[in-house]
Amino acid sequence: MKYPLTAIRQKRLEPKITNHGEFCYILTSTFDEEPDASRFSSYYDDPIKVGVAFTLAWAIFGMFIGVWAAAQLAWPSLNFDTAWSSFGRIRPAHTTGVIFGFGGNALIATSFHVVQRTSRARLADQLSPWFVIFGFNLFCLIAVSGYFMGVTQSKEYAEAEWYADLWLVIVWIAYFALFVRTLARRKEPHIYVANWYYLAFIIVVAILHIVNNLAVPVSFGHAKSYTVWPGVQDAMVQWWYGHNAVAFFLTSGFLGMLYYYLPIRAERPIFSYRLSILSFWGITFFYMWAGSHHLHYTALPIWVQNLGMTFSVMLLVPSWASAGNALLTLNGAWHRVRDDATLRFIMMAAFFYGLSTFEGSFMAIRPVNSLSHYTDWTVGHVHAGALGWVAMITFGAFYTLVPSIWKRERM
């Protein structure tokens, strides 16, 4: 049997010239001795490198589509009179490209990096990381292409049809299993707090996705489906999902980044580990009740609106606990902020996290919401969180991670 001129693991090969003058290797024995066990004791970073590449690709795509959508608000003719490029189709392509494509790949890549380093254990196997990375990006591709074609559920942040939703559940179960199995193999008795945040992100996003996207397909050969939630219940479930996607996708997971990469870059321990745990449980509990503040002045019962408003204001405490914890970590290290551009990204992310959560808590109050809702203030608030917090902490993390896994001294 002939093999090309490449190294083939675990097989003894001999060089030979073929009748056509082509140089190749001939397999002479089935397997060599077992691979060195040390190969499995080192960290498995190849999937992380691919995740970084996917993150940057989705960032370019998602932000380009966002600028295009914004430009259409000023120059409507930029939809070129075609259905696929209309605002209603490219806008969800933008949000999915940025939140799930850019943000999701950043979270998966950094979670693989952080869980190995803080556990001093290699990823549990070599197949699951690739399935998670490529499976998740396949979901993003199916969802975005569906938006351009007009195949959606007409839901905020959760518009992909039932077959894409089902595929994501399979990928996410594999992700959860891989993360937990890696933690179970840890050589470190303590589970560092960054892994708490990543694990909350993985578990709660699975719950949110499944409950919000419960639907009955018209048929298995048709993309269309019907939600199981009728009327105002559908709106409530949608914003329970929508705001908790902010909580656990765009907050909890990225706080996992903050609590690992900030101390690494600042070369200082986190200011208060206990404060990070307080923040974790506060965010995990309070956020679950806050979604109804998106539905003020609607048919939703007033007590449910009040519940969401109250918990939203209470959220300021655990949110500022993490923002303050990050900034206090830099006490005694501000000279490093002056000299290290990467640390400035992380510092600005902490600032924007504090500012965005302050603004969000007060925008949830009904009289304030009456001024802000359906205005550009809401759009600006979202982008302060997305560009100021999510993107800044992602690039701060990447500027720390990339030289490490590519074995370079600096970027």
SS (H, E, C) 275-335: HHHHHHHHHHHHHHHCHHHHHCCCCCCHHHHHHHHHHHHHCHHHHHHHHHHHHHHCCCCHH
Shortest CA distance to 321 belongs to which of 329, 311, 331? Answer: 329
Examine the domain organization and report whether 187 and 297 are in the same domain. no
Examine the domain organization and report whether 157 and 195 are in the same domain. yes
386 within a domain of the structure (yes/no): yes
Kindly report, residue by residue over 113-126, the tens digit of the pLDDT.
999 999 999 999 99
Distances (CA, A) of 156 to 96, 283, 328: 10, 22, 36
Kindly report, residue by residue over 317-374, the tens digit of the pLDDT.
999 999 999 999 999 889 999 999 999 999 999 999 999 999 999 999 999 999 999 9
Please tell me the pTM assigned to this model.
0.88
18 within a domain of the structure (yes/no): yes
258 within a domain of the structure (yes/no): no
Confidence of residue 39 (pLDDT cuts 50, 70, 90): low
Confidence of residue 18 (pLDDT cuts 50, 70, 90): very low
Examine the domain organization and report whether 50 and 191 are in the same domain. yes
CB 239 within 8 A of CB 291: yes
Domain harbouring 78, CATH code: 1.20.210.10
Q: At what angle do helices 193-212 and 105-119 cross, to 10 degrees?
A: 140
Confidence of residue 10 (pLDDT cuts 50, 70, 90): very low
Averaged confidence pLDDT in the chain: 89
Examine the domain organization and report whether 201 and 53 are in the same domain. yes
Examine the domain organization and report whether 381 and 304 are in the same domain. yes
Shortest CA distance to 239 belongs to which of 211, 265, 274? Answer: 211
Q: Which of 228, 249, 282 is the last residue of a domain?
A: 228
Question: What pLDDT was estimated at residue 30?
Answer: 41
Confidence of residue 187 (pLDDT cuts 50, 70, 90): very high
Examine the domain organization and report whether 374 and 275 are in the same domain. yes
Kindly report, residue by residue over 287-318, the tens digit of the pLDDT.
999 999 999 999 999 999 999 999 999 999 99
Question: What pLDDT was estimated at residue 36?
Answer: 58
Find all residues with CB under 8 Å of 272, minimum gap 6, and list them. Answer: 325, 328
252 within a domain of the structure (yes/no): no
Distances (CA, A) of 225 to 151, 194, 237: 11, 38, 17
Confidence of residue 34 (pLDDT cuts 50, 70, 90): low
319 within a domain of the structure (yes/no): yes
81 within a domain of the structure (yes/no): yes
Q: What value does the mean pLDDT take over residues 172-186?
A: 97
Which residues make beta-bridge pairs with 24? 16
332 within a domain of the structure (yes/no): yes
Pick 130 or 35 by higher pLDDT: 130
Angle at 268 between CA 267 and CA 271, to 5 degrees: 155
Classify each residue of 378-406 as buried b or exposed e, where b means 16 or more C-beta atoms within 10 Å of its C-beta.
eeebebbbbebbbbbbbbbbbbbbeeeee
Question: What pLDDT was estimated at residue 297?
Answer: 94
Q: Which of 177, 208, 228 is the last residue of a domain?
A: 228
84 token code pair:
């696929």
- Structural domain count of the chain: 3
What is the domain range of residue 352? 270-411
Examine the domain organization and report whether 182 and 62 are in the same domain. yes
- 305: amino acid identity, one letter: Q
Question: Is the pLDDT confidence value at 275 over 60?
Answer: yes
Examine the domain organization and report whether 287 and 380 are in the same domain. yes
Shortest CA distance to 359 belongs to which of 304, 319, 303, 305? Answer: 319
Examine the domain organization and report whether 183 and 286 are in the same domain. no
Question: What pLDDT was estimated at residue 157?
Answer: 56
